[in-house]
Amino acid sequence: MKTYLVTGGSGFIGSNFVRQMLQNDTNCHIVNLDKLTYAGNPANLVDIEMDERYSFVHGDICDTDVVRQIFHQHKPQIIINFAAETHVDRSIGSPDDFIKTDVFGVFTLLEASKEFGVDLFLQISTDEVYGSIAEGSFCEGDPLLPSSPYSASKAGGDRLAYSYYVTYNLPVIITRASNNYGPFQYPEKLISLFVTNALEDRDLPVYGDGKNVRDWLYVSDHCSAVHFIIENGKLGEVYNVGGGNELQNIHITHQILEQLGKSADLIKFVEDRKGHDLRYSLDCSKLNQLGWMPEHSFDEALAETIHWYQSNEAWWAPIKSGEFKEYYKSHYNMAYEGE
């Protein structure tokens, strides 16, 4: 039996990964270390929390004592570091926690992995570390040019992990995925925010002219790629993980409104994000040649995602009615309707 330490397992991608892992591998033990920041939600894993193959530790990846105690007690062979501060807008307003968690937190986990020994340290990085590209697509060997405090701190964690492979022979692999969407995404990111706003007949705040391009990856495809890379990836390598769905934000906005039968009048063009990257694009041929491809088409998976938010208002409504109100007002400088 293999023991996995999954950090950030109570967040969006981490919780999808934990659930998928428990479904696919009956002979595993997963320890989830999560600080439960605003983005970490125990409700994301309520269906599996009693599974005897699953343990939860409430703690910070920056806390050396907590991390060492987990390694001592559970002796994990595979570390998958999802834990991070993840929202670009929050990093622009207040970068401190990004630098702590996304750089120092990675260091803490790497140190414990070096001390106790592991079979694999998988660092979940992001396509944002490359920066924006007007034409063509980034390959894994291309230089990194991150442009927000979020992507710069992720680039720090990404390269720090690589340095432990080169310097200490720690068995490290790094993944750089594109924009995820799907169930359990905190309603602050483009798709989760716009779907839930539309369901409440609130405005959809499109930054700038809405022509920025992202490549959209369904979360279960990202999770299957992580699983595939654990089984088949080569140590010391970086793998781009993309969905092959490059779309302008305004296109997605209209698609959401059409599926929900809502008026385009809900669209509000607002001030652009500072330092807003125009386009992300990944060349994923390295991972595709190894044998992994995404399974979901964007149109079908977006429809499923919208349907999930329609059916799970009990999950997202309390988030949006609580501290999210304050966040909305301070970030968009717009009154939150319904007050």
Q: Are 275 and 148 in contact (CB under 8 A)?
A: yes
**Which one, of 310, 337, 314, lies nearest residue 325 by Cα?**
337
Catalytic annotation present for 128: yes
Provide, rounded to whole angstroms, the least separation between the CB of residue 107 and ligand NAD: 12
Task: Name the residue nearer to ligand DAU (CB basis): 56 or 207.
Answer: 207
Tell me the residue number closest to ligand NAD, measured at CB. Answer: 11
**Residue 228 binds which of ligand NAD, ligand DAU, none (CB < 5-8 A, kind-dependent):** none
Note whether 179 binds ligand DAU by CB under 6 A.
yes
Reference 7, options 74, 50, 57, 75; nearest CA is 57
Residues 34-93 that bind ligand DAU (CB under 6 A): 86-88
Smallest gap, in angstroms, from Cβ of residue 149 to ligand NAD?
A: 13
Asked if 206 interacts with ligand DAU (CB under 6 A), we say yes
Nearer to ligand DAU, 104 or 207 (CB): 207
Contact 154, 284 (CB under 8 A): no
Taking CB under 6 A as the criterion, which residues in 210-229 touch ligand DAU?
212, 214
Instruction: Closer to ligand NAD by CB, 66 or 290: give it.
Output: 66
Residue 280 near ligand DAU by CB under 6 A: yes
Task: Specify whether the CB–CB gap between 171 and 210 falls below 8 A.
Answer: no
Q: Which residue is nearest to ligand DAU (CB)?
A: 126
The Cα angle at residue 43 between residues 38 and 46, in degrees rounded to 5: 150
Nearer to ligand NAD by Cβ, of 190 and 257: the residue is 190
Active-site hit among 85, 127, 158, 277: 127
Nearest CB to ligand DAU, comparing residues 10 and 76: 10
Cα(222)–Cα(229) distance, rounded to whole angstroms? 11
What is d(CA 21, CA 28) in angstroms, rounded to the nearest whole number?
Answer: 8
Q: Which stretch, 95-103, 121-129, 163-171, 307-315, contacts ligand DAU (CB under 6 A)?
A: 121-129
Q: Shortest Cβ distance from residue 201 to ligand NAD (Å)?
A: 25
The span from the CA of 121 to the CA of 138, in Å, is 24
327 is catalytic: no
- β-pairing, 246-248 vs 213-218, is antiparallel
161 CB-near residues (< 8 Å, 6+ apart) = 106, 110, 121, 123, 125, 172, 174
> Catalytic site residue 150?
yes
Q: Please list, in sequence order, all residues whose beta carbon lies within 8 angstroms of the beta carbon of residue 171, skipping any fewer than 6 positions away.
A: 118, 119, 120, 121, 165, 235
* Residues with catalytic function: 127-128, 150
Q: Which residues bind ligand DAU (CB under 6 A)?
A: 86-88, 126-128, 178-179, 189-190, 193, 205-207, 212, 214, 249, 273, 280
